[in-house]
């Protein structure tokens, strides 16, 4: 077996066998497959597809290219993955909520990608928090606290790390087969018993069209279940930011206000509870999603989730008094400016991708991989679709490092938020559920 024959087989529409996938993933991990061959393979997969069996084979092979975690816990090992959004801090709420319900959550997360925020970047806004502590620390914190939000180490799915970079430079990022294998190889390497997926759709999502989001959700659910991990997906809305904030420290503040009950964002809460309810069903801790959602509501309300969050932060190097002192512990920006509505009217459209890009250009994301994140910058109190605005009322408040950046963000946001004389039809928070029974 060699790279050329595997590439030719996929190119000719013959899918990908388990043996071929294993050989190619090993070659990606150890460098025996060249960049040119990896790019040719990715293009063949993009153009011809590899079907459900091929996706399962590639996912399992990339998972097995590095360390696969094994757990011996008294409760189910569960995680969540989002395809990426703006103002989406669900992971920070859901991990401790699931732990408070009896799950163990090794949440291996990523950094910001394009216009979307990254869970690790948000956690690193907390002073001292170690988001890449290594597998030993991950095991210890999950065992003692119940959850840990951390980044993948080099030992987790190295084949995916190599192919991910090749996809970016070879014009093959949008292949659903490759997206599926990339997401799931890392998640399944964490040794999960169940996985809930949050697949975003709308102007701020990578999959802006409903049909594309549904195709991705079906691919992910079918492949994960085919690989032996109980998985369901919710397709959730990203035609507007989910939270009222976008930007790392500001999103952590919103999360803490929600966890402590001092400023609850209902949309953020409801999506968290819905995803958590599905996860508890997968974990065998709730008979149905209604019961599961009620349990998540309870631990968010009664303080058990925030207690777990505080323990996790302290265990990973953050302040031991973070829950009590979070406003003092997080960095703040020197320039704070309201963007005023230019006219009266209803908020009729939000270009959510443009909102996310505004945060990136403020310094809250990366334009190139070597950029250093400024955790203090971002947007606060972003308006929601359907809000009735008076002229001069704030549409959003910018937190910037300097006036020049604030000027650029203000211009971008005025172009991204549209007002009209009639209230729009507001999109549902949750568009659709895709379960194992929907992909058989």
Residue ranges, comma separated, of all CATH 1.20.970.10 domains in the chain are 3-63
**Weakly modelled stretches of the chain, pLDDT under 50:** none
The reported pLDDT for the residue numbered 113 is 65
* Residues 230 and 78 sit within 8 Å (Cβ to Cβ): no
Of 52, 59, 65, 82, which residue is the catalytic one? 82
Whole-number pLDDT of residue 112? 67
Indicate if 81 belongs to the active site: yes
- 321 is a catalytic site residue: no
55 catalytic residue (yes or no): no
Q: Which residues pair with 79 in a beta bridge?
A: 195
Angle between helices 51-63 and 176-189 (to 10 degrees): 40
**361 a catalytic residue:** no
- CATH number of 3-63: 1.20.970.10, 3.40.640.10, 3.40.50.2300, 3.40.50.980? 1.20.970.10
Question: What is the C-alpha separation between 99 and 210, in angstroms, rounded?
Answer: 32
Asked if 436 contacts 231 with a C-beta cutoff of 8 angstroms, the reply is yes
Please indicate whether residue 185 is annotated as part of the active site: no
Query: For residues 62 and 227, is the Cβ–Cβ distance under 8 A?
Result: no
Residue range(s) occupied by CATH 3.40.1030.10 in the chain: 78-325+430-438
| Annotated catalytic residue, options 48, 55, 63, 81 | 81
Query: Which fold does the domain 78-325+430-438 belong to in CATH?
Result: Pyrimidine Nucleoside Phosphorylase; Chain A, domain 2 (3.40.1030)
Catalytic-role residue among 182, 185, 203, 231: 182
What is the structure's pLDDT at 34? 95
Distance of alpha carbon 230 from alpha carbon 116, whole angstroms: 27
The pLDDT score that the predictor gives to residue 55 is 93
For residue 376, what are its two tokens? Answer: 């203090």
* CATH superfamily to which 335-420 belongs: Pyrimidine nucleoside phosphorylase-like, C-terminal domain (3.90.1170.30)
Catalytic residue among 48, 52, 55, 79: 79
User: Would you state the torsion angle of the CA atoms of residues 125, 127, 133, 137, taken in this order, to the nearest 10 degrees?
Assistant: -120
Task: State the helix-helix crossing angle for 51-63 and 210-226, rounded to 10 degrees.
Answer: 60
Own/partner pairs for 381-384, CB < 8 Å, 24+ apart? Answer: 381/244, 381/245, 382/87, 382/241, 382/243, 382/244, 382/245, 382/246, 382/355, 383/347, 383/350, 383/417, 384/240, 384/244, 384/267, 384/347
Q: Which of 59, 110, 60 is nearest to 80 (CA)?
A: 110
Count of CB atoms situated within 10 Å of the CB of 353: 20
Place of tokens 């989730």: 305
Is 79 an annotated catalytic residue? yes
Q: From CA 62, how far away is CA 68, in angstroms rounded? A: 10
Choosing from 119, 203, 232, 236, the catalytic residue is: 119
Q: Which residue in the list 48, 63, 80, 122 is annotated as catalytic? A: 80
**Rounded distance between C-alpha atoms, residue 356 and residue 87, angstroms:** 8
Q: CATH 3.90.1170.30 in the chain, residues?
A: 335-420
Q: Among 162, 186, 244, 329, which one carries the catalytic annotation? A: 186
The catalytically annotated residue of 187, 214, 353, 431 is: 187
Active site residue 140: no
Check if 70 is active-site.
Answer: no
| Furthest C-alpha separation in the chain | 68
Catalytic annotation on 187?
A: yes
């Amino acid at each position: 077996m060699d790279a050329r024959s595997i590439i030719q087989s996929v190119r000719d529409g013959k899918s990908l066998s388990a043996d071929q996938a294993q050989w190619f993933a090993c070659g990606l991990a150890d460098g025996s497959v060249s960049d040119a061959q990896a790019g040719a393979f990715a293009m063949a997969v993009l153009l011809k597809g590899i079907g459900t069996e091929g996706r399962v084979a590639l996912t399992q092979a990339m998972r097995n290219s590095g360390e696969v975690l094994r757990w011996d816990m008294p409760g189910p090992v569960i995680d969540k993955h989002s395809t990426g959004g703006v103002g989406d801090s669900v992971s920070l709420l859901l991990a401790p909520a699931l732990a408070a319900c009896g799950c163990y959550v090794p949440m291996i997360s990523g950094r910001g990608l394009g216009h979307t925020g990254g869970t690790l970047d948000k956690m690193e806004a907390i002073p001292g928090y170690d988001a890449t502590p290594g597998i030993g620390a991950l095991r210890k914190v999950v065992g003692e606290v119940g959850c840990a939000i951390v980044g993948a180490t080099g030992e987790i799915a190295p084949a995916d790390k190599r192919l991910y970079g090749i996809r970016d430079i070879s014009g093959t990022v949008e292949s659903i087969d490759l997206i599926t294998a990339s997401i799931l190889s890392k998640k399944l390497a964490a040794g999960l018993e169940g996985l809930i997926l949050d697949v975003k759709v709308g102007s701020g999502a990578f999959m802006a069209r409903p049909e594309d989001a549904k195709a991705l959700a079906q691919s992910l659910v079918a492949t994960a279940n085919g690989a032996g991990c109980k998985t369901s997906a919710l397709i959730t809305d990203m035609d507007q930011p989910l939270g009222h904030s976008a930007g790392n420290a500001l999103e952590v503040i919103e999360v803490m206000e929600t966890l402590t009950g001092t400023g609850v964002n209902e949309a953020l809460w409801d999506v968290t509870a819905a995803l958590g309810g599905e996860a508890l069903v997968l974990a065998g801790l709730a008979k149905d999603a209604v019961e599961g959602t009620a349990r998540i509501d309870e631990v968010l309300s009664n303080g058990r989730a925030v207690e777990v969050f505080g323990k996790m932060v302290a265990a990973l190097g953050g302040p031991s008094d973070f829950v009590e002192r979070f406003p003092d512990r997080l960095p703040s920006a020197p320039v704070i400016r309201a963007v005023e509505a230019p006219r009266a009217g209803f908020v009729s459209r939000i270009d959510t991708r443009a909102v996310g890009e505004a945060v990136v250009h403020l310094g809250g994301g990366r334009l190139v991989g070597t950029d250093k994140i400024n955790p203090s910058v971002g947007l606060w109190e972003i308006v929601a679709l359907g809000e009735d605005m008076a002229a001069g009322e704030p549409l959003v408040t910018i937190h910037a490092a300097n006036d020049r950046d604030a000027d650029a963000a203000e211009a971008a946001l005025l172009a991204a938020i549209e007002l009209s004389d009639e209230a729009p039809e507001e999109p549902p928070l949750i568009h659709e559920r895709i379960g194992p029974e929907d992909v058989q």
